[in-house]
Amino acid sequence: MPSQAGNAIHCPSCNGKFQVPIPVASPSGASSFGGFSSQSEVQAFASKKVTAGLCGILLGGLGVHKFVLGLNGPATIMLATTLGCLTVGACLVIPLFLVPVLHTIGFIEGIIYLTKSDEEFYQTYAIEQKEWF
């Protein structure tokens, strides 16, 4: 039977459509197959989980937890929004209401990080690079 690597096929059990991964050589010599990475890559990224989780819980509104994960776009948005609201909030009260909202978002994300398994954490934030929640 010829290789199906790279082809879109239907799953016989659920009839869902998916693409068969193509084997890829990893530069470090560790083998990867499609979206699956070596255990050492998962563990290396998962070592950031506790740091990112605690930063989310303690410094949520500043976006530090997102900087730890390399999600610099959303991290910059959170940091700039918080600092901007605190600066403008000195003159206007309304922007000050956004600061607790951003801190709550960071707090929730910190809890989510800490409750995920290492594999889920790696898949969600290293592979998929999910930016929010």
In a shared domain, residues 76 and 121: yes
* pLDDT: which is higher, 4 or 114: 114
| DSSP code for 75 | H
- The answer to whether residue 101 sits within a structural domain is yes
In a shared domain, residues 110 and 57: yes
CA–CA distance, 67 with 75 (Å, rounded to integer): 6
In a shared domain, residues 47 and 80: yes
In a shared domain, residues 15 and 71: no
In a shared domain, residues 27 and 47: no
Contact call for residues 21 and 5 (beta carbons, < 8 A): yes
Mean pLDDT of the chain: 80
pLDDT band at 95 (very low <50, low <70, confident <90, very high): confident
In a shared domain, residues 54 and 113: yes
Quick one: which H or E segment has residue 17? strand 17-19
The residue length of the chain stands at 133
In a shared domain, residues 27 and 49: no
CA–CA distance, 53 with 66 (Å, rounded to integer): 10
Mean pLDDT of 27-33: 44
- The answer to whether residue 30 sits within a structural domain is yes
Per the structure, the complete domain to which residue 16 belongs is given by 8-36
**Count of structural domains within the chain:** 2
Q: How deeply is 41 buried, as exposed, middle or buried, from its count of CB atoms within 10 A (0-12, 13-18, 19+)?
A: middle
Mean pLDDT of 92-111: 86
